[in-house]
Each structure stands twice: as C-alpha cells, then as structure tokens.
Amino acid sequence: MPPPPEPDYSGTTVGEFAILRKIGQGGMGQVFLAEDINAGRMVAVKVLAKKLADDHQFLTRFRREAQAAGALSHPNIVTVYDVVENAGHQAVIMEYIEGLTLREVLDQKHRISPSLTIHIGMAISSALDAAHASGLVHRDIKPGNILITPTGRVMLADFGIAKAVNGGESDLTNQNIMMGTAKY
C-alpha cells in the first residue's frame, strides 16, 4: 500500500513565509513559491516529506548540511537562506529562481546546442568548484537540479544530500544506502 500523498501547503504559512503555490516535487519533499512576509521578496520553500521530517537523525544531519550550503555564495548556486521548523513542518528557505530546469529544457527541445552545453557545463563546474572549495560535495547533479533563467543564467540547486567532506560525521548516508538519483 503506497504512503498517503504529501499535503499541499498552498494558502498556508510556514513561519514568516506565505505559501502561494506548488512549483515542484522530489524525493525529499515539495517545493513551493512563497512570499517572505517580512522582507517582501519571493522565495522557494522546500517542505521535507513527512517520512523524512519524522527521522530525527536525518533531520540533524540535514540541518547541518543545509546550514553549510547556506554559507555558500556563488553566482551559479541557489542561495539557501534558512532552515525552519513551524508546527512540525521542516522547511528549507531558498532563493527563488524564475526559469526552467535543464530537465524541462531537454523535454521541450530534446537536444541543446553545443554552445549551450558548454555554457551550462562551465557554470555548473564553477558552482561545484566553489562548493568543493568550501568542503561540500553536492552528490545529486542531474538536469532537474540545474536551473536556467530567461536571461541564460545557470544555477545549481538542491544541496539536500550534500556531504561536508571536512565534517566527518555529517554524512547523510549510511553504509550500503544510495542517495541521489540512480540513473545519474
């Protein structure tokens, strides 16, 4: 019997964030467009799936990695603003990037030009270089985690299963358990 579907938080608030609408979903949770009521800016709010939010060991590790990702500042990395808990909802507050994922671009076009491929490769390589220099390994590079804005800016998103290589115990995985997307 499959688990019950995750609730739609549209029209609710998580902390100071008014959830407007769902914009994505992945294995770790749902992503919503929200308004930061205090700052008056649009943000992306990733609400962790209930099965993960109930795992206290996972939450401790996840918060530590999200905080490490929040320390990253790079033009090709989606900024993590905060990790919040409100009424049992665990959420990561991120920069909202208007545009499409590389997965959506590939689904629409089926093929991209060599120059766009090089542009994306250079941007993501630069983002990964910055993350690695800060001691983080992303571990889930895939088209769905690469965002492309209408102006052509390329951004790497979702450090949710990142590993801090200099933090020792802060690995989100256990031995013999795969994290990330199998086909990538």
Catalytic residue list? 140
Q: Which of 110, 121, 115, 107 shows the shortest CA–CA distance to 154? A: 121
Please answer whether residues 33 and 96 qualify as being in contact, where contact means their C-beta atoms are separated by less than 8 angstroms.
Answer: yes
| Whole-number Å distance between alpha carbons of 118 and 123 | 9
Sign of CA dihedral 95, 98, 104, 105: negative
H-helix segments, 12-55: 50-53
Tokens describing residue 94: 């991120």
The CA–CA distances, whole Å, from 136 to 90, 99, 165 equal 22, 25, 6
Q: What is 143-176 written as a DSSP string?
A: GGGEEE-TT--EEE---TT-EETTSSS--S--TT
